[in-house]
Chain A
Amino acid sequence: MSNESFEPLLIAFCCQYCSYSAADLAGSMRLQYPTNVRIVRTPCTGRLEVEFFMKAFEKGADGILVAGCLEGGCHFTEGNLLAKGRVGYTQGFLSECGLEAQRIRMINISAAQARPLVEHINEMLATLKSIGPSPLKRVNQPKNAEMNV
């Protein structure tokens, strides 16, 4: 698959108190972002575990965007700071497995920042296009891989 025709599958884990509302606002504002991002609403990014990220990659995600509240603005005080650490930890794991660490990224967004959210999504998709599809797509898929597009 050439990188030009490649449409990455991006999973965006969005905190319901900020980036999920920002995504909603982006819709109200008629801002467009590509359809190949799958938004998963989470109660707080602090709920996200490293295993969620690893399972997403295992099942065919090309990249993961974790969108939490601005630092200092978490509804649960420090959930976004926990997520930041877990994203960093996952990057180390990915490198050890042979996947690029840039495939996962954490951003901080407030509920009012619809336009920056769209920009972050587009930036992440551009990064994924530049590094190409997940190498897991080139090798045998296990029977339970469910997120192939």
Chain B
Amino acid sequence: MIVAQRKSIPELIDILKGQKKILVLGCGTCVTVCLAGGEREVSINASALRIASRLKNLSFEIEELTIERQCDNIFIEKAAEAITRNDVVLSFGCGAGVQAIAERYNKPVYAGLDTEFIGILEERATWTEKCIACGKCVLHEYGGICPITRCAKHMLNGPCGGSREDRCEVRADRPCAWQLIYQRLKDIGELDRLKTVKAPKNWSASIHGGSRVIIREDHRI
């Protein structure tokens, strides 16, 4: 899922300064699960903004709404009336959600969250990055552990030799991805995969080739 974090209240106030009627719009999908932009977070942040507005004399009028998904037209339509009666939208969706709303309505749409990464819930209240959406998956080569995302040096032919006791030398709080890859390939009997030197990655399938589009002609009419 997409993992995001909230912006601080002073940051939000700076973004919203001068505005009056504000719709705080939550998203019920990824950002709800990562406790950043769901109904509950919308309520907390809306309360905080109302309090800050009264203390700083900003005269915000805040409405709250959470839709099922901000990146999908069918659900965005359900916010149409609320968006229309407000001056601006403070979206608590991911970056895709913010842009989806902005493309459909001719009014300012601001990001209430910092979208961080594609990741998983590693343990209670801890999310870790697992994928950078590089566009050409190589996970089969590495025992299901992504060296591009999880190795700080993105090495396809690792390890770098700098890890200390299975910890990454760049971030000592994270495990060395190449230690994990070696162990995993050994466990599943595929260590031979490491004998081949991998060619440099073609990054044009990633964001380096410009904004990506996928079209499924078989589903188009």
Contact = CB atoms under 8 A, between A and B. Distances in A.
A142 B10 contact: no
Contact of B52 (A50, A51, A97, A142): A97
Contacts of B48: 54, 93, 96-97
Contacts, number: 48
Most chain A Cβ neighbours within 10 Å, of B8, B54, B57: B54
Interface residues of A, number: 17
Interface stretch (A3-11, A34-42, A105-113, A133-141): A133-141
Contacts of A58: 47, 50-51
A51 B47 contact: yes
Contacts of B40: 49-51
A139 B44 contact: no
Contact of A54 (B47, B54, B57): B47
Most chain A Cβ neighbours within 10 Å, of B50, B51, B56: B51
A99 interface: yes
Nearest to A99: B51
B44 A93 contact: yes
A98 B47 contact: no
Given A51-B44, A51-B47, A54-B48, A96 B9 contact: yes
Contacts of B8: 96
A121 to B, nearest CB: 24
Contact of B51 (A49, A50, A97, A140): A97
B47 A135 contact: no
A47 interface: no
A55 interface: yes
A54 B9 CA distance: 13
Contacts of A142: 50, 54
B38 to A, nearest CB: 11
A57 interface: yes
B6 to A, nearest CB: 10
B55 interface: yes
B86 interface: no
Contacts of B43: 51, 54-55
Interface of B: 8-10, 40, 43-44, 47-48, 50-52, 54-57
Given A97-B9, A98-B56, A99-B55, 15 more contacts: A50-B40, A51-B47, A54-B47, A57-B47, A58-B47, A93-B44, A96-B8, A96-B9, A96-B52, A97-B51, A97-B52, A98-B51, A98-B55, A140-B54, A142-B54
4 closest A-B pairs by CB: A54-B47, A96-B9, A51-B43, A98-B55
